[in-house]
Amino acid sequence: MADPPQTLDGWWMLHDLSRLDRRAWWSLAESERSEALARATELWQRELTSPRASERGASGLYTVLGHKGELLQIHLRDSLEDLFQLQHKLSALSLSGLLERTWSFVSVVELSTYGQPEGAPLPEFPLDNPALKSRLHPELPEWPFVSVYPMNKRRAPGANWYTLDMDERRQLMRVHGEIGRRYAGRVRQLISGGTGLDDWEWAVTLFAEDPLAFKHLVTEMRYDPVSALYAEFGPFFIGRRIDPAAVAALWQR
């Protein structure tokens, strides 16, 4: 049996993608639509308009391009219970009855030990360690574009990641990580683990000012053995950051 990597686990994370039922939306009176938007905007502004790392978490709101969804909410919280409570608040909005959820993912921000020297213990995670805190309790960048996709490691005959020994996986991941580091300053990456929590093993959340950086980074990584031999990818979602007060403009005739 191959040794599994240990992980450092940070904030809990929820990706929540939905689209508006426009037929139901336009069947409402104008006053009902205004009231639904006002209450939703109030809650979003309270939870989303300052997506910076704090002691309680961070949130972001994005409008999504294409048929897969329309509105993406990304929430990071200190506990799973906090995410349950937030979802209950959002579900209580009258607008929630008009939003059809098209995809969601529950996970936890994680760092693995693949970057650690062999036999080295996991680093401690005191709250005053800024390097670890910023990675496990991350800010959501104010950069305008986001790309999100789930992924697994493959279990195919002759290409089964989970039968490779730790040394081989560590070396493969070290080379894989070097590609990502070449995009420092252009792409921010957030990895969250969903094993035992959702249908995929990880979600990758990328942020950039130039969306072409997503294409270039993912293309380059596809040629690396970690992706070429051992990765399975789910759907990709591309979004743009939006202020809650601007959502109403999306749903006007």
Helix (H) or strand (E) holding 63: strand 57-64
Active site residue 149: yes
What is the Cα 238 distance to its own chain's centre? Answer: 12
Rounded distance between C-alpha atoms, residue 229 and residue 226, angstroms: 6
Rounded distance between C-alpha atoms, residue 36 and residue 58, angstroms: 24
H-state helical runs in the chain: 22-27, 30-48, 80-91, 130-136, 166-181, 212-222, 225-230, 247-250
Query: Catalytic pick from 149, 162, 223, 230?
Result: 149
First to last CA, the chain: 59
Tokens of 26: 């336009």
220 to each of 114, 224, 234, how far by Cα in Å?
21, 7, 18
Tokens of 232: 């399975």
86 to each of 44, 90, 146, 181, how far by Cα in Å?
11, 6, 22, 34
- Using alpha carbons only, give the angle 188, 193, 199 rounded to the nearest 5 degrees: 120
Catalytic residues: 149
